[in-house]
Structure 1
Amino acid sequence: MKITTIGIDLAKSVFQIHGVDSHGKAVLRKKLSRAKMLEFFIKLPPCLIGMEACGSAHYWARKLVEMGHTVKLMAPQFVKPYVKANKNDAADAEAICEAVSRPNMRFVAIKTEEQQAILSLHRVRQSFVKARTAQSNQIRGLLSEFGVILPRGMADIARRLPELLEKTNLPDSFRELLQRLYQHFKELDKQVEELDQKIQLWHRNSAISRQLAEIPGIGPITASALVASIGDASSFANGRQLAAWLGLVPKQHSSGGKALLLGISKRGDCYLRTLLIHGARAVIRRAEDKPGGTWLSKLLARRHKNVAAVALANKNARIVWALLTHNDRRFRADYVPAVADA
């Protein structure tokens, strides 16, 4: 009995594994506690191991790769069609074992500890930004109940609220509440600024991140997030696959030989897609003040700004793939493709 492929259904404490031999016959069905996971696999001959790309998957993948196993991660939505019966841990492990052996399966690149560390900074920063926005909206909404209207924007909260607390005739209890909310707002703003500095420091120490930041519409935040999330760009066959992974290509609903393209699919990482589109909007705002003739100005002349922003984000994603897969290349704003030149 030689196990060639194993599927692992990950959990916090109890893990279900399913193993098959070279003929696809099930030869192993077992539950393992977290403490015995490494002990079991270190005694096992090297084999192919499949897991869903979920919480702790990258950690276990790194550990198993160190033992000599070949580990492949898959998106959960690609594994679900292989579940044959009712959902349970054993059925999930069997489905993972079958899915990982499919020749056309799409896999997720295993992230390094450094990649996960910088991504953790981005995730925490994103949560602080959301909390700061929610806090400013709450302050603005509470003041409106007393007839005080503040314009939209973080700057007006920080600039006008201290003055309102001193001069406006507000009840003392409400004034104390506003002071408490304002202190919370300032603390959130401080946390965001400190995390920005940490990300900037990592960006300055990363050559490839600095290289991506040369692309118009991509700054240190976007560049560092792209480098940490994508990792090995060679796992994508071309730039369009990377753009599709980010959800920047049209959703297709075709049948009977008739092609129907809808809006963008919005699949993949929403955070990266948002950063790329917001960066594209900044480029578009500056492009409106420049003379025409460029690809972007021609696009803006015939399509809506939102469409142009997504198109530019898609283009930047493809440029990112080209730079990540060819380390000897650098971004050139005056570059003209050979086909267009001919």
Structure 2
Amino acid sequence: MSEYVGFDVSKEETSFCVKDRDGKVLVRGKVATDPVALFETLKEHCVYPERIVMETGTWGHWLVRELRCLGVDVDLIDARQAHAVMKLQHNKTDANDADLLAEIARTGFCRPVAVKSEAAQMDRTVLKARQHLIRQRRDTENAIRGLLGAFGHRLPKGVSKFEGRVQFVLEVCPALSGVVGPLLKARAAVTRCLEALDGEVRERAAHSPACRLLMTAPGVGPVTALAFASTIDDPARFGKSRSVGAYAGLTARRNQSGEMDWSGRISKHGDTMLRSLLFEAASSLLTVVRKAHPLKDWARRIRKRSSHKKACVALARKLAVILHKMLASGEAFRWPEAAQA
């Protein structure tokens, strides 16, 4: 008898539901959020599980990797697709969510998503920690600007002269030292940690063959290369390289119904960090890189008839497709012969 299992994962406990082929609930309950505990639960209540489903989330990739190591094949589905089904229920509980996940497993409504490897997950952890420190430093700087601005002190833009200017203001107004001084020390500590993570990113990119290959493309540095390689992880999971543009949320939305058919702004689906880094790489290619390339000419024509931002978005999508093709084929970025000369 085939069985279908749904796991609704939370921090401490995981609700589970087991259904048969006809949709009848065989057993439901709760178990600790631990791979071994989930494995023992499956051994106890399932004879032949046809499909096991859980949502993406903080614990999802780790649980799926550990369960697969124990010999249990688990499908990870997009939480947004699961939420579209779950929001139809009148009473939202963990038990009802597990019941609906088991129903999704039985009907095959949602397609599974790729589970990242442990190495790719570690690379993304470093990048997310770096991104968090950048936001923290920016928020601290804005707080200092606001506090000093209330007394008429204007600080220059950027971070290169920020600390020296704040120190000068504190010398002029010693009364502000007790308030702004701790914030300035916190900013210095965050900056040191950020520099350490930047070194970690450069080291990981230098030791990764995929990152070294991606960095042959203009505008792509260690951060963008590591983010792209860790997000894509396995290039073979994309049948076509042009699908990566839609995966990163860099393609236009479309709304078609009857006689109505319009295309709007980009979807912004997918990973926000990868999308912003690809935009920065495209902007660097368009404005900083000196060598001539047909990609730059194409983006400049777009910029001439629309705007710089739209040209960078279009170039970022092209760059995502090219980078995936480089990973899939193992071929470095090719410059025109005139540019090489």
Q: TM-score band (shorter)?
A: 0.7 to 0.9
Deviations 1:123-156 (A, max 9, x none): 1111111110111112222222222211111112
For 1:183, the aligned partner's letter is K
Query: Which of 128, 133, 136 does residue 128 from structure 1 map onto?
Result: 133
Deviations 1:77-104 (A, max 9, x none): 2113433632211221122223245556
Query: Which of 166, 178, 185 does residue 161 from structure 1 map onto?
Result: 166
Counterpart residue number, 2:32: 33
How far does residue 108 in structure 1 lie from its aligned partner after superposition? 1.9
Counterpart residue number, 1:339: none
- Gap regions ≥5 residues in structure 2: none
1:213 is aligned to 2:215: yes
In 1, Cα distance between the equivalents of 2:289 and 2:302? 11
Query: Which of 103, 106, 113 does residue 98 from structure 1 map onto?
Result: 103
Counterpart residue number, 1:178: 180
In 1, Cα distance between the equivalents of 2:230 and 2:199? 17
The more displaced of 190-199 and 64-73 is 64-73
Counterpart residue number, 1:241: 243
The more displaced of 266-275 and 33-42 is 33-42
Query: Percent of aligned pairs with the same residue?
Result: 29
Q: Secondary structure at the match of 1:16?
A: strand
Taking a change above 3 Å as real, the CA distance of residues 234 and 5 of structure 1, as seen in their structure-2 partners, is farther
Counterpart residue number, 2:257: 255
- Gap regions ≥5 residues in structure 1: 336-342
Query: Which of 131, 147, 150 does residue 145 from structure 1 map onto?
Result: 150
**TM-score of the aligned structures, taking structure 2 as reference length:** 0.88
In 2, Cα distance between the equivalents of 1:251 and 1:50? 29
The more displaced of 232-241 and 308-317 is 232-241
Contact 1:3–1:19 (CA under 8 A) maintained in structure 2:
no
For 1:330, the aligned partner's letter is A
In 1, Cα distance between the equivalents of 2:38 and 2:111? 26
Deviations 1:103-123 (A, max 9, x none): 563332112222222211111
Contact 1:14–1:32 (CA under 8 A) maintained in structure 2:
yes
In 1, Cα distance between the equivalents of 2:293 and 2:111? 44
Alignment RMSD: 2.5
In 2, Cα distance between the equivalents of 1:134 and 1:196? 19
**TM-score of the aligned structures, taking structure 1 as reference length:** 0.88
In 2, Cα distance between the equivalents of 1:101 and 1:224? 37
How far does residue 25 in structure 1 lie from its aligned partner after superposition? 3.9
Question: Where does 1:1-342 land on structure 2 (aligned, <5 Å)?
Answer: 2-34=1-33, 36-41=37-42, 45=48, 47-83=50-86, 85=89, 86-102=91-107, 105-166=110-171, 168=172, 170=173, 172-286=174-288, 294-326=297-329, 328-334=330-336
Q: Secondary structure at the match of 1:268?
A: coil
For 2:28, the aligned partner's letter is R
Deviations 1:272-297 (A, max 9, x none): 11111122122222369979982223
Q: How many residues align?
A: 330
Q: Secondary structure at the match of 2:257?
A: coil
Contact 1:3–1:27 (CA under 8 A) maintained in structure 2:
no
How far does residue 309 in structure 1 lie from its aligned partner after superposition? 0.6
Contact 1:18–1:26 (CA under 8 A) maintained in structure 2:
yes
Deviations 1:39-90 (A, max 9, x none): 2235655642111001211111011111222211111121134336322112
In 2, Cα distance between the equivalents of 1:242 and 1:290? 25
The more displaced of 249-258 and 119-128 is 249-258
